[in-house]
């Protein structure tokens, strides 16, 4: 009999329970521990994904709240613009330019020469706004024109400078400043 066989025969009472215990451990690991480990790892991965999704949802919620706050602020500013800055009608817009331009010209030491005002018929009626365009000529010195334009741009009246042209008919004659201005006003229910 060989040595290995002799050991198996003599120590059978010890070896058989050891082999059985090893087989039971392998079976428990294969059928219980390993599947639970895989399931646990899957649960951890799902938990990480859920946490990332939650963080993304919280970021989206914060952005949405910011958008709502920004929209509310924009609505308030637009209401302020329509209520306090924009003239109520065409006659208010005309008074605004008729009163402000000569006063600003006098303050800047610029001579008010002539003015031509027209209503822009191409303005979009669907916006609820009308546009009045004024073509105004002034005479004076260059530095005074610069002061006048600065005063006009920083004035509280809602006037937009569309175009400026500076010319001199002959040397030694005063400079002529041609300014095209626009102002917008709210249209009435009938579109006027």
CA neighbours closer than 13 Å in the CB half-sphere of residue 114: 2
**Which ranges of the chain would DSSP assign to H, the alpha helix?**
3-10, 12-28, 34-80, 90-107, 142-154
What CA–CA distance (Å, rounded) separates 113 from 136? Answer: 8
CB 119 within 8 A of CB 132: yes
Could you report the per-residue pLDDT of 38-73, keeping only the tens digit for each?
788 777 788 889 999 999 999 999 999 999 999 999
pTM: 0.57
Whole-angstrom CA distances from 5 to 9, 13, 112, 172, 186 are 6, 14, 127, 132, 110
pLDDT tens digits along 103-147: 888 999 999 888 888 887 776 666 778 888 999 999 999 999 999
Q: What are the structure tokens assigned to 20, written together? A: 């059985």
């Amino acid at each position: 009999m060989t040595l290995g066989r002799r050991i198996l025969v003599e120590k059978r009472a010890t070896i058989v329970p050891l082999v059985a215990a090893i087989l039971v451990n392998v079976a428990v690991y294969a059928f219980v521990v390993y599947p639970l480990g895989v399931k646990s790892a899957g649960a951890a991965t799902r938990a990480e994904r859920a946490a990332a999704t939650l963080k993304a949802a919280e970021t989206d919620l914060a952005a949405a709240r910011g958008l709502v706050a920004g929209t509310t602020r924009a609505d308030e500013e637009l209401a302020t613009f329509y209520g306090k800055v924009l003239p109520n009608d065409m006659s208010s817009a005309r008074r605004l330019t008729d009163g402000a331009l000569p006063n600003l010209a006098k303050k800047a030491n610029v001579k008010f020469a002539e003015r031509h005002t027209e209503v822009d018929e191409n303005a979009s009626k669907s916006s609820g706004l009308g546009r009045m365009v004024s073509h105004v000529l002034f005479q004076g010195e260059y530095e005074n024109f610069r002061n006048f334009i600065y005063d006009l741009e920083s004035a509280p009246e809602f006037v937009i400078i569309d175009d400026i042209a500076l010319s001199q008919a002959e040397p030694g004659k005063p400079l002529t400043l041609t300014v095209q201005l626009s102002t917008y006003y709210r249209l009435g229910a009938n579109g006027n």
